[in-house]
């Protein structure tokens, strides 16, 4: 179970390396101030802080023994950090735009692709540059008739390290004024209290906090040290009260024993958010690239009935997936009838069978799923 | 052929020419001898050609002729260095045939002997010739036999290197052989570990240390299965502890199946136990009387109930509507999709009419079948 952010950092992060071109960033000063404030109430020197902050020439200067997930490397953003969600071959994409800020995650979800490649790598933080922010703003402004969806939770948790780095705070401030931009922070934590208030009486801001949800039984078994379902939902309520829009992601749904009962239970809990009308809910069943197979072989879900899909990922057999989606859509329609529900990385066949044809679902989803031309692709 | 030859293991810089050749009479059978091919990186050459040829610091080995009795005594002595555990038929625990231990082989790849206390020999490599040499030693008229004798003292690591070079089975050593080599070397180097050259001689494509650690972590029964090449290490690692005491029953269950089928059976069983779906005894009870492919089929049905049910229903349909009718029905790969594929060949209008008639008999069934691909019921 996730502890408070500062205890988590002191236990899981040893050092932060800033590349030379980020060393003079105000974010570095903020991080070091926060480290001192949190860990050095007695005036002891920086050298004894549990998390060390160091500027290096470039990444190649980092000692090899520090190239682990206990190290965070901060560098400027790179070409390709902003673009379309890569989606997956042969499956319908929700046309989400992604901005890579926090790359890597240490929550330890067993099904996560990062389990297969993060073992000997550092976490990375890419500081969004002014040109990236400008590009996003221009993109949204030049498509006023569209809702542009942008999120930072594609390759890492948007809020896990944010109480320390505060990059989401900055992005909320820089992007929150654009009416047709829905900037989403996706998380499995309850770290929302550091974010600024953005609502005004009777009006929400434009930032969405998307909480990944699963039954507590699945969280306990498969989601490492992520926050409990109760804590995530409590954080969602606090965020909503401070002006944030909400979204929920049932992804990945896992066919554990009494899965219908368990997922229906989560859906029922979401009914308490009917008053804030969550912006969207996504559904995705467990899927994994074959490269992850060795890492999940000991998990109970590894014995479920997976088959290879068109994109090479293993997915539940099609009728099983369709059954899960149909079940959840019905339940969610009962508890949050006004919230659009979409499928993440699913085939056209499954979309058709789950929604009885696109006509039923498109009016709700059209505004959020239409692709936005972004110019040069990744 | 009574002359002495000198031989050196070299780093490739040594000259490599002038192989002495000759014919030797082995019990009336003329054998052509061509000294020197211990392997590509070591060579033998006559003493007369030695000048300036031995690589400084390299191991010096002399080619000598010894009596079969002397060699036999060394091969059967207590102070042996048989890291490959050659069997009496000349092979090793991990294979080998009689053809590798006859006179021609002995001439081309003579046994390598190191010095032992009391002026005797300690065999470093050549145990595959035991049976053959014993036979010669028992005869009065046997000829002298060539050996390569290490000059001076030689440490354990060097002996292992010599043995590996002579054995020359890189990438084809058994798990137990690699284990023994590494154990012997580690003991001889106070646990420093194996050098890159030994690692490379064992297997240049895999990380020996990692594989060995994984092998050593397995239960002995699984190590035996690996050495018997009836299982791969990944599958062995997946076998839960609760199945280990039941290994004999697993062996019965996997009788008369291919390597790949055995692997599937074992993985299915491991899956069930690991996922807590059932206990090992329940599995065996359910599978009582089934072995081999029957067991595999049944276990697959249990492991993938929805997939096999779907397969069964679709196959029944296919058989009902296509058998003997010249029509082929295909389903989407891995049942991902909502269509059936139909194909047929025709050679005349009449045949076309007949095929269309057959196709029309499918009417009323297609929706139901496509529905199976989309629904769990």
Predicted local distance difference test score (pLDDT) of residue B11:
37
Of B272, B310, B336, the CB nearest to A347: B336
Average pLDDT over residues B300-326: 89
Which residues numbered 266-295 in A keep a CB inside 8 Å of some CB on B?
294
* CB-side neighbour CA atoms (13 Å) of A99: 30
Per DSSP bridges, beta strands A306-308 and A313-316 are: antiparallel
The 10 Å Cβ neighbour count of residue B285 is: 10
Contact B336 A320 (CB under 8 A): no
Contact A317 B271 (CB under 8 A): no
The domains found in chain A, sorted by start residue, are 1-75 (no CATH), 77-369 (3.80.30.30)
Predicted local distance difference test score (pLDDT) of residue A76:
94
Among B253, B342, B345, B341, which Cα is nearest to B299's? B253
Contact B336 A352 (CB under 8 A): no
Write out the two tokens for B138: 């028992």
- Using the Cβ of B240 and the Cβ atoms of chain A, whether some distance falls under 8 Å is answered with no
Q: Which position has the token pair 């990438």?
A: B171
ipTM over 0.90: no
Distance CA(B331)–CA(B375), nearest Å, equals: 15
Distance CA(A151)–CA(A344), nearest Å, equals: 14
Chain B: residue whose CA lies nearest to A310: B336
Q: pLDDT tens, A246-262?
A: 999 999 999 998 999 99
Predicted local distance difference test score (pLDDT) of residue B20:
44
Of B303, B338, B375, the CB nearest to A349: B338
Q: Which residue has the higher pLDDT, B152 or A174?
A: A174
- Using the Cβ of B173 and the Cβ atoms of chain A, whether some distance falls under 8 Å is answered with no
- Using the Cβ of A320 and the Cβ atoms of chain B, whether some distance falls under 8 Å is answered with yes
Give the bridge partners for B61, in sequence order: B7, B150
Any idea which of A133-137, A149-153, B46-50 has the lowest mean pLDDT? B46-50
Any idea which of A17-26, A120-129, B233-242, B270-279 has the lowest mean pLDDT? B270-279
Which phi-psi region, left, alpha or beta, contains residue A190 (left: φ > 0; alpha: ψ -120 to 50)? alpha
| B140 three-state secondary structure | coil
The 10 Å Cβ neighbour count of residue B242 is: 13
CA distance B207 to chain A (A): 17
**With bands split at pLDDT 50, 70 and 90, how would you rate the model's confidence at B111?**
confident
Any idea which of A295-304, B27-36, B255-264 has the lowest mean pLDDT? B27-36
Predicted local distance difference test score (pLDDT) of residue B57:
41
Asked if pLDDT for residue B51 goes beyond 60, the answer is no
Asked if pLDDT for residue B29 goes beyond 50, the answer is no
Predicted local distance difference test score (pLDDT) of residue A353:
86
Instruction: List helix spans (H) across B79-195.
Output: 103-108, 130-137, 156-167, 175-188
Chain A: residue whose CA lies nearest to B305: A305
Predicted local distance difference test score (pLDDT) of residue B116:
75
Average pLDDT over residues B339-363: 92
Predicted local distance difference test score (pLDDT) of residue B131:
86
Domain boundaries in chain B?
A: 5-168, 170-217, 220-303, 320-374
Distances (CA, A) of A74 to A21, A102, A184, A287, B158: 9, 9, 22, 30, 50
CA distance A287 to chain B (A): 14
User: Are the CB atoms for A22 and A75 separated by under 8 Å?
Assistant: yes
Which residues numbered 299-318 in A keep a CB inside 8 Å of some CB on B?
300, 302-303, 305, 307-310, 317-318
- Using the Cβ of A251 and the Cβ atoms of chain B, whether some distance falls under 8 Å is answered with no
Q: Which residues of B touch A325 (CB under 8 A)?
A: none
Cis check: omega of the bond before A252, within 30 degrees of 0: yes
Distance CA(B272)–CA(B281), nearest Å, equals: 12
Average pLDDT over residues B54-71: 67
Distance CA(B354)–CA(B324), nearest Å, equals: 12
Asked if pLDDT for residue B31 goes beyond 90, the answer is no
Contact B335 A347 (CB under 8 A): no
Per DSSP bridges, beta strands A102-103 and A71-76 are: unpaired
Average pLDDT over residues A144-158: 90
The 10 Å Cβ neighbour count of residue B182 is: 22
Q: Which residue has the higher pLDDT, A257 or A14?
A: A14
Asked if pLDDT for residue A91 goes beyond 80, the answer is no
Per the prediction, chain B carries an average pLDDT of: 77
- Using the Cβ of B337 and the Cβ atoms of chain A, whether some distance falls under 8 Å is answered with yes
Average pLDDT over residues B202-210: 87
Name which of A349, A351, A358 to mutate to probe chain B: the one with the most chain B Cβ atoms within 10 A of its Cβ.
Answer: A349
Predicted local distance difference test score (pLDDT) of residue B197:
83
Predicted local distance difference test score (pLDDT) of residue A376:
56
- Residue B68 phi, psi (nearest 5): -55, -35
Within its chain, how far is the Cα of A2 from the centroid?
A: 16
Distance CA(B75)–CA(B145), nearest Å, equals: 13
The pLDDT > 90 percentage for chain B reads 24
Q: pLDDT tens, A294-314?
A: 888 888 898 899 999 888 899
Q: Which residues of B touch A308 (CB under 8 A)?
A: 334
Asked if pLDDT for residue A378 goes beyond 60, the answer is no
CA distance A291 to chain B (A): 14
Distances (CA, A) of B129 to A159, B138, B165: 70, 14, 17
């Amino acid at each position: 179970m996730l502890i408070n952010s500062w205890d988590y950092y002191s236990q899981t992060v040893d050092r932060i390396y800033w590349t030379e071109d980020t060393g003079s960033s105000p974010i570095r000063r903020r991080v070091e101030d926060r480290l001192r404030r949190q860990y050095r109430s007695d005036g002891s020197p920086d050298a004894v802080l549990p998390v060390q902050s160091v500027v290096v020439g470039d990444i190649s200067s980092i000692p090899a023994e520090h190239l682990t997930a206990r190290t965070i490397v901060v560098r400027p953003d790179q070409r390709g950090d902003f673009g379309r969600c890569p989606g997956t071959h042969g499956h319908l994409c929700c046309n989400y735009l992604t901005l890579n800020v926090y790359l890597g995650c240490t929550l330890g979800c067993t099904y996560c692709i990062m389990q297969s490649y993060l073992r000997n790598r550092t976490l990375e933080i890419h500081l969004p540059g002014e040109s990236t922010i400008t590009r996003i703003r221009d993109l949204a402004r030049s498509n006023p008739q569209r809702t542009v969806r942008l999120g930072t939770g594609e390759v890492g948790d948007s809020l896990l390290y944010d109480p320390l780095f505060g990059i989401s705070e900055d992005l909320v401030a820089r992007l929150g004024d654009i009416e047709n931009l829905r900037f989403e922070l996706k998380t499995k934590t309850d770290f929302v209290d550091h974010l600024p208030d953005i609502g005004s009486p009777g009006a929400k801001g434009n930032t969405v906090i998307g909480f990944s949800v699963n039954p507590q039984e699945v969280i306990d078994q498969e989601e490492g040290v992520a926050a409990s379902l109760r804590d995530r939902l409590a954080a969602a309520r606090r965020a909503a009260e401070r002006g944030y829009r909400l979204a929920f992601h049932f992804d990945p749904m896992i066919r554990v024993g009494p899965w219908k009962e368990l997922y229906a239970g989560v859906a029922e809990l979401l009914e308490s958010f009917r008053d804030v009308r969550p912006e969207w809910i996504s559904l995705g069943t467990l899927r994994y690239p074959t490269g992850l197979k060795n890492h999940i072989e000991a998990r109970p879900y590894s014995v479920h009935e997976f088959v290879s899909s068109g994109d090479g990922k293993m997915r539940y057999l099609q009728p099983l997936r369709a059954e899960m989606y149909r079940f959840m859509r019905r339940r969610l329609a009962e508890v949050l009838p006004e919230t659009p529900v979409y499928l993440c990385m699913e085939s056209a066949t499954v979309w058709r069978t789950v929604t009885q044809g696109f006509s039923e679902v498109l009016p709700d989803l059209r505004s959020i799923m239409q692709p936005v031309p972004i110019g040069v692709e990744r | 052929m009574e002359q002495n030859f000198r031989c050196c293991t070299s780093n490739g810089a040594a000259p490599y020419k002038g192989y002495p050749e000759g014919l030797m009479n082995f019990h009336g059978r003329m054998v052509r001898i061509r000294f020197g091919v211990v392997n590509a990186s070591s060579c033998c050459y006559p003493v007369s050609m030695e000048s300036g040829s031995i690589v400084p610091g390299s191991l010096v080995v002399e080619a000598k002729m010894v009596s079969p009795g002397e060699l036999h005594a060394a091969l059967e002595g207590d102070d042996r260095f048989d890291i490959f555990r050659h069997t009496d038929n000349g092979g090793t625990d991990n294979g080998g045939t009689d053809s590798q231990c006859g006179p021609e082989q002995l001439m081309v790849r003579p046994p390598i002997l190191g010095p032992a206390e009391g002026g005797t020999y300690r065999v470093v490599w050549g145990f595959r010739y035991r049976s053959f040499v014993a036979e010669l030693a028992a005869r009065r008229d046997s000829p002298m036999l060539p050996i390569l004798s290490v000059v001076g003292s030689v440490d354990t690591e060097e002996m292992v290197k010599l043995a590996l070079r002579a054995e020359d089975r890189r990438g084809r050593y058994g798990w137990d052989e690699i284990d023994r080599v590494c154990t012997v070397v580690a003991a001889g180097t106070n646990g420093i570990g194996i050098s890159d050259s030994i690692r490379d001689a064992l297997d240049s494509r895999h990380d020996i240390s990692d594989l060995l650690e994984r092998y050593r972590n397995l239960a002995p029964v699984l190590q035996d299965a690996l050495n018997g090449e009836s299982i791969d290490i990944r599958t062995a690692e997946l076998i839960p502890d609760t199945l280990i005491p039941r290994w004999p029953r697993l062996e019965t269950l996997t009788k008369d199946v291919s390597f790949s089928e055995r692997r599937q059976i074992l993985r299915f069983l491991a899956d069930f136990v690991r996922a807590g779906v059932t206990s090992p005894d329940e599995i065996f009870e359910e599978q009582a009387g089934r072995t081999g492919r029957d067991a595999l089929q049944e276990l697959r049905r249990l492991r993938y109930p929805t997939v096999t049910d779907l397969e069964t229903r679709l196959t029944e349909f296919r058989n009902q509507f296509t058998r003997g009718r010249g029509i082929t029905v295909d389903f989407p790969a891995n049942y991902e999709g909502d269509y059936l594929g139909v194909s047929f060949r025709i050679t005349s209008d009449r045949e076309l009419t007949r095929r269309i008639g057959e196709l029309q008999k499918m009417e009323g069934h297609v929706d139901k079948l496509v529905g199976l691909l989309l629904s769990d019921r």
